[in-house]
Amino acid sequence: MALNIGARGRGNIGLDVSGRWMKAAQRGAAGPVLARVCRKKPGAAFDKADATALAGVLDRSGFQGRRAVLLAPRGALLSATLELPPRSSGAPIEQLARMEVARTHKCEPDSFELGLWDLPAPGREDGQTHVFAAALPVSQAEEIITAFEGTGLEIIAIDIPACALARGTSGGTAPDAIVDVGWDGAMLVVMHQGVVVYERMIEEGALSRLFEAAQTRTGMTADVVEPVLLRPTVAERADVLGTLLEPLRVVASEYQEGLAEEIGRSLAYVGHRYNAWSLRRLAVCGDGAAMQGLSEKLGTGLNAECVAGAGGDASSAAHLACIGASWFGPGKQMRSAA
Amino acid sequence: MSAAGSMSINLLPAARQKASRTRARARAWIIGGTLYGAALGLASAMVAVRSSGAAEVSAKLADSAARGAELDEQLKAVRGTMATTRREAEAVREIQEHPDWSALVGCLARAAGPTLILDHCSLRPTPAKDGGGKGEKLANVPSGFTLSLTGLAVSNADVAEFTENLERLKLFESVSIVSIRAREGARVPREGESGTLVSFDIVCALSDAGAASADASGGER
């Protein structure tokens, strides 16, 4: 990728290489510049061939500059809500959090990079410090960064997906929760008092499971299911694809009901933890955001307003996390225990 | 942007973050150094341009000073020429206004009488006295004339009589006997008289003031 002097005005490139599709976004004069590349081997580890293919697409798609912010792979990220001694006690909160994460995930304390931020006090006052900790093993980070070496892209930061999603939806009316429907799972992010207070990767919401069910029950491969279910503009235009949608409706409906049920359980937990929180607005994003009937099903099941993308912008809903990552900048209340 | 929107945690490995900061710092130093060098070069170029302008002005000033010195020399030369010319003009005017000196010779002959012989008569301009002022009167311009008379007389009384005759002319401002001395070997040539001739030296000052007094007294001129 050619170095462009004027690229600094465009900002960083947000990259998401998790799942079946690699996505990129960058701020542009007429809205964000977006790109999506299908991986040849979705289940395999991200390698140099993937990085080279992605860099080539970016070069041809109008992206400028070479500084990129990478979203941490969702499967590799270790996150937890921790209760630690009050900060007024002088206890080393960061070190304690690192040791607690290492103990929970049975790994060495210095084998991962850790980020944490304070959470609002829950309904019951216990005097403890509640923090949200997110950790990424160094080995997995190095594996991806090494794959990008020599492609012209410089990874300047690895962002936490939950924070990127919150950043991506911060432009307009902030939702109370965000669900990012991806290949490996649906990530539910709950925000309260402007802070991400909850995150859960719902494996039942993985598109890979939906595609497997569709192939098992209808015999359709992923290449057929994807345009029928996830690209409604194509389905509406083509009668042939429309006829293919009918047998998939049942599978998709079951998937959506299962996802709404899991989301409802998680939100019930959050509502129990934070009495002042309630779901009024849910943002749906990710690769499955454009799935036919998903927003309606979630809105009905959760009894909340459900919008696609940030402020209902469905065109960029799949890239919402990448857009948020491209806005990566120095935080004001974040603590890194690195 | 909400607080959640501003949350940014970098999970890039610490070693890579440090290397990235080092690269960024090196890049900043290189850019800063380049800009500094460029600014320095630009400033040097501006100073050089301005210095060349100063040198040009200095050269012009030096030329002007040399030209001024040359003009001063020419002015001095012109002033010298003017002084010479003025002296010549004064001399010409003196000559043009000079009296008929032949009349003086007649007066001297009449004042001498038969017992006195003039062997030398000279009329020279009297140099003006230097007043030390800035006036344009030149030192060599005569203020009057000095008449020097030398000759032989039979006796000292003849010399004294001759002197009185000269004063009687009212022509001279002063008549002075400079010397009278016997002239060895010079005998009175006339018969019936014996003795040695005396030589004399008389100086008469002739000036416009003396002439004016002579005119006022109606003296012979």
B136 has a pLDDT exceeding 50: no
| Beta pairing, strands A177-181 & A186-192 | antiparallel
pLDDT for residue A75: 86
Neighbour count for residue B132 (Cβ, 10 Å): 6
Least confident among A32-36, A312-316, A318-322, B118-122: A312-316
Read off the pTM: 0.64
The answer to whether the Cβ–Cβ distance between A167 and B1 falls below 8 Å is yes
- Reported as a single tens digit per residue, the pLDDT across A83-142 is 999 888 888 999 999 999 999 999 999 999 999 999 998 876 677 899 999 999 999 999
A5 has a pLDDT exceeding 50: no
Report how far residue B169's alpha carbon sits from residue B219's, in angstroms, rounded to the nearest whole number: 6
DSSP reduced 3-state for A56: helix
- Reported as a single tens digit per residue, the pLDDT across A269-303 is 999 999 899 999 999 999 998 888 899 999 999 99
Mutate to test the interface with B, among A8, A155, A158, A320 (most CBs of B within 10 A): A158
Report how far residue B1's alpha carbon sits from residue A167's, in angstroms, rounded to the nearest whole number: 8
> Could you report how far apart the first and last alpha carbons of chain B are, in Å?
131
Structure tokens at A90: 């002088």
Closest CA to A156 of B13, B130, B96, B155: B13
pLDDT, chain A, mean: 86
| Average pLDDT value for residue range A52-79 | 91
Put simply, whether B16 touches A (Cβ < 8 Å) is yes
Report how far residue A292's alpha carbon sits from residue A303's, in angstroms, rounded to the nearest whole number: 18
**Residues in chain B within 8 Å Cβ distance of A131:** none
| Partners of A130 in the β-ladder | A83
Helix (H) or strand (E) holding A141: helix A138-148
DSSP reduced 3-state for B24: helix
- Reported as a single tens digit per residue, the pLDDT across A111-120 is 999 999 999 9
pLDDT for residue A115: 93
| Average pLDDT value for residue range A312-325 | 84
Note whether A20 and A75 are within 8 A (CB).
no
DSSP states of A77-90 = -EEEEEEE--GGGT
Select the more confidently predicted residue: B64 or B141.
Answer: B64
Report how far residue A266's alpha carbon sits from residue A302's, in angstroms, rounded to the nearest whole number: 11
| Residues in A lying within 8 Å of B, measured between beta carbons | 72, 113, 115, 117, 134-136, 138, 141-142, 145, 155-160, 163, 166-167, 169-171, 174, 191, 193-196, 327-334, 336, 338
**How confident is residue B219, by pLDDT bands cut at 50, 70 and 90?**
very low
Report how far residue A126's alpha carbon sits from residue A254's, in angstroms, rounded to the nearest whole number: 41
Note whether B5 and A329 are within 8 A (CB).
no
